[in-house]
Amino acid sequence: MSSITIEDGSVVSHAWSGVFAMTLCVMAIIASEFLPVSLLTPIASDLNISEGYAGQSISVSGLFAVMTSLFLTTIIGNHDRKHVMLFFTGLMAISGTIVTFAPNAEIVMFGRALLGICIGGFWGMSASIIMRLVPEETVPKALSVLNAGNAFAMMVAAPLGSYLGGMIGWRGSFFCIVPIVLITFVWQYISLPNMPARRDVSHRPGIKSLIDLLRQRRVQLGMGSTFLLFMGMLSVFTYLRPFLETTLGVNSETLSLLLLALGVSGLVGTFSIGFFLQRTLYGVLISFPFLLSLSVLAMIAVGTSLPLMFVVISIWGFLSTAVPVGWWTWLSKTIPENAEAGGGLMVAVIQLAITLGAASGGVLYDMAGYQTTFTFGAIILGLAAVLAAISGKYNQGV
């Protein structure tokens, strides 16, 4: 693999093998993180817990991802970023194995906590590593490729998890990811170049760099909108399966088809988002959360109509999978000089939002049902659009 080592010790690679290896890692991470969504009912039944409590398995991974990403630069220090990436990938395989053979809910939560460490570590470094693997002008394209792994995992994991759950059980579904993680480990070992820690002052490890970023008004507004976006989405998405089972009374085959429609539309959204971002970044960041809010209300409104639910679910999938690319693009344009700390902060914000979204959604779902839960999510998504609009106006004025 051809590469150029520049003065600060970073490596710019013109071969994309490392990007594709990280994309496969994204697929494994997303599949692992959100697999409980398609298996919530059988997990709850097997472990003798409520569906709301089973949904906290996503909250736990999100919580540990927050803690990891907040202290990421301190934890990894001056270690070579390739070795750190391999560590997090190996830990993901251990997590999947623990969850597969967990005898009770507590051990499941422990395995999910380990996964959270992997999530926080990977996403905290992903943007900065991508910026070191490819030339500056191709960074947005590389980020889109990376997020394509996200979309593909969402397309495959949910329906396949639901289908496999009916065939080999939820434990077998989780274990199917472990071989993929091991393949990812080997590919990353071969394809990623050595990436020593940057030695310049702006990349010095420590939480101080995160605090300095948060003092910037543009970062506060952007991160605030990102937080509301992911909190609103996860308060809805986590409980999509019990919602569909309750309103439509669907069997596992129909449920798999609905989730497949969501995933396919998400994949289309990921490959289409670059077209919109080239024309109006803030147009995407404002309009997509607003349309997501409307689609959640539409889910409630269409009720028992299966054909209309297919349409609304597809719209949701297109928007929800594409919009994160917008915020990662915003990050690369807003603070390119401090991408590693910015990436860690972004991951902390997203995972905290995921944690609170899944947790609050679980409480509301157990107490008041899907209508209250989904209405709550729609309101939060609407607020995300408002804050994105304020962020756009502020950035035009600076």
Could you tell me if 384 and 289 are in contact, meaning their C-beta atoms sit under 8 angstroms apart? Answer: yes
pLDDT for 385 equals: 95
d(CA 152, CA 57): 22
d(CA 298, CA 308): 9
d(CA 45, CA 277): 43
Residue 16 burial (10 A CB sphere; 0-12, 13-18, 19+): middle
pLDDT for 199 equals: 57
pLDDT tops 60 at residue 319: yes
Place of tokens 């990891």: 68
pLDDT for 339 equals: 64
Could you tell me if 112 and 92 are in contact, meaning their C-beta atoms sit under 8 angstroms apart? Answer: no
Place of tokens 């940057």: 198
Q: 10 Å Cβ neighbour count for 300?
A: 16
User: Which one, of 171, 61, 155, 37, lies nearest residue 117 by Cα?
Assistant: 61
Instruction: Considering only residues 156 and 381, tell me which one the structure prediction assigns the higher pLDDT.
Output: 381
| H-run or E-run covering 220 | helix 217-237
pLDDT for 108 equals: 92
pLDDT for 1 equals: 42
**Amino acid identity at 240:** L
Q: What is the pLDDT of residues 168-209, one digit of tens each?
A: 888 999 999 999 999 999 999 998 888 887 654 344 445 666
Q: Is 252 helix (H, G, I), strand (E, B) or coil?
A: helix
Q: What is the pLDDT of residues 132-153, one digit of tens each?
A: 888 777 777 787 788 777 777 8
Sign of the C-alpha dihedral, residues 198, 146, 234, 160?
negative
Q: What average pLDDT does the structure give for the chain?
A: 83
Give the single-character DSSP code of 134.
S
pLDDT for 288 equals: 94
Q: What counts of helices (H) and strands (E) characterise the chain?
A: 15, 2
Percent over 90 (pLDDT), the chain? 28
pLDDT for 336 equals: 67
pLDDT for 207 equals: 63
d(CA 314, CA 73): 38
Q: What is the pLDDT of residues 215-225, one digit of tens each?
A: 888 888 999 99
φ, ψ for residue 79, nearest 5 deg? -70, 145
Q: What is the pLDDT of residues 331-351, one digit of tens each?
A: 877 776 666 677 778 878 888
| H-run or E-run covering 159 | helix 139-175
DSSP secondary structure, 82-113, as one string: HHHHHHHHHHHHHHHHHHHT-SSHHHHHHHHH
Residue 94 burial (10 A CB sphere; 0-12, 13-18, 19+): middle
- Pick the range with the lowest mean pLDDT from 96-100, 208-212, 223-227, 326-330: 208-212
pLDDT for 230 equals: 94
Q: What is the pLDDT of residues 278-308, one digit of tens each?
A: 788 899 999 999 999 999 999 999 878 889 9
Sequence-distant (≥ 6) Cβ neighbours of residue 323 within 8 angstroms: 229, 273, 284, 285, 288, 289, 292
pTM of the model: 0.73
Sign of the C-alpha dihedral, residues 159, 64, 372, 222?
negative
Residue 262, token pair as written in the block: 């969501």
User: What is the rounded average pLDDT of the residues 352-362?
Assistant: 86
pLDDT for 358 equals: 83
Most confident range (mean pLDDT) of 40-54, 67-81, 247-261, 372-386 is: 372-386
pLDDT tops 80 at residue 231: yes
User: What is the rounded average pLDDT of the residues 14-19?
Assistant: 75
Instruction: Considering only residues 87 and 126, tell me which one the structure prediction assigns the higher pLDDT.
Output: 87
pLDDT tops 70 at residue 398: no
d(CA 153, CA 161): 11
User: Which one, of 314, 306, 296, lies nearest residue 247 by Cα?
Assistant: 306
pLDDT tops 70 at residue 11: no
